[in-house]
Amino acid sequence: MTNKEIYFDNAASTYIYEEVVQHINKINTEFFANPSSTHLAGISSFEQIKKMKENFCEILHIKPSSLIFTSGGAESNNFAIKSVAFANMLKSYNIVISSYEHPSVMNTAYYLEKFGFEIRVCHLNEFGHLDLDMLKKLVDNNTILVSTAHVCSETGSVTDIKKISDIIKAINRKCYYHVDAVQSLGKFPINLSMYNNIDLMSFSSHKIHGPKGVGALYIKPKVKIDPFIIGSQSAGLRAGTLNTSGICGFCLALSIIDKNRESNYIKTQILRKYLIDELNSAFSDDIFLVSPMDGSPYILNIAFRSIKSEVLLNALSQKSIYVSSGSACNSKTGISKTLKAMNIPKDFIEGAIRISFCDLNTTDEVDIFIENLKELIPMLQLFVRR
């Protein structure tokens, strides 16, 4: 029905801004020297990173010394959780996570059980948000870390990180709070000078039209943390030659998207509502809205009755329409733990797909998407019923 590619999988990865591509090429050509070298070429490379990093930190309202660049969001999450845990090794300690965390948070937390840490999981309430009453019961004087996503990568549920951070610190001032902000950077306002009770925050480049292979971790001053990769770079906390072009591309992407953040948000909000209205009109009883209505406008998770999501994904892919069945890091392992934790009706849960937007998506693309679904859903339901 269409020869034009329709990309609705922006929570997995985004196109790179052309301006960022050009900047990366320039850095690779003109500033290829190792930024740790003490000769003039190395110093020039380091100065490029320093300049771009200062702009990045200005947007987040943090000091450059509190930001460490990594290979991506997954590494940043691993870095935050493992390094806090290993710096505070007592077998009586516990770690609290939510039931909708990205695998790089959830699996890392469970990995720490072998070192004596107790992992406690906070579930969602009936509205798809973190159950704050349950959180208050889980956090105690032996909780060393709480880790939650700012925006759930599968459903778009938005966590009130200010409220949660205040709850945690009211119970245990020594407990650290880590926020996975991979899906909120560049989309939601993040002013860390206003979040005094947030200790660590993870970011990723390729979710905001930057290059793959680069991310960052904010570490609040005085957080007790072990080195993640031992060596000399990044204050001894994360060794390895700095990825000059990747870092500069990441910083430029944030600068670009931040300038348009408010207008992008409004535009995407309108687009998401339009899609929901069209879906309800076309499928009514055969569709279940998984995402909360007040969730991120950039992510919409829906489920179709009596449909296998992977079959629908493949059928849409054949028509050059790209969506996903959830987090790309979790999509090949069956029904995700996030969806299992939610009260999704049994005849819908296997038919959940995630549509995720960026600033380039349009209502025309939504119309084409709906027309293809009208053709595919009845056919696939008939196939399943056989």
Task: Delimit the domains of the chain by residue range.
Answer: 6-15+261-372, 18-259
Average of per-residue pLDDT values in the chain: 92
The answer to whether 358 is a known catalytic residue is no
Q: Check residue 90 and give its pLDDT.
A: 72
Q: Check residue 328 and give its pLDDT.
A: 44
Q: Check residue 349 and give its pLDDT.
A: 87
Q: State the pLDDT confidence band at 382, using cuts at 50, 70 and 90.
A: confident
Mean pLDDT of 257-266: 98
Cβ neighbours around 93 below 10 Å, total: 18
| pLDDT tens string 231-258 | 656 666 776 888 999 999 999 999 999 9
Q: State the pLDDT confidence band at 341, using cuts at 50, 70 and 90.
A: low
Q: Check residue 384 and give its pLDDT.
A: 63
Q: State the pLDDT confidence band at 43, using cuts at 50, 70 and 90.
A: very high
* Residue 11 amino acid letter: A
Q: Check residue 3 and give its pLDDT.
A: 60
Q: Check residue 125 and give its pLDDT.
A: 83
This prediction has a pTM of: 0.92
Mean pLDDT of 43-70: 96
Indicate the CATH number of 6-15+261-372 among 3.10.20.30, 1.10.357.10, 3.90.1150.10, 3.40.50.2300.
3.90.1150.10
Residue 157 pLDDT more than 80?
A: yes
- In the set 152, 175, 251, 329, the catalytic residue is 329
Mean pLDDT of 4-24: 97
Same CATH fold assignment for domains 6-15+261-372 and 18-259: no
Q: Check residue 327 and give its pLDDT.
A: 46
Task: Report, at the CATH architecture level, how domain 18-259 is classified.
Answer: 3-Layer(aba) Sandwich (3.40)
Residue 331 pLDDT more than 60?
A: no
| pLDDT tens string 177-236 | 999 999 999 999 999 999 999 999 999 999 999 999 999 999 999 999 887 676 656 666
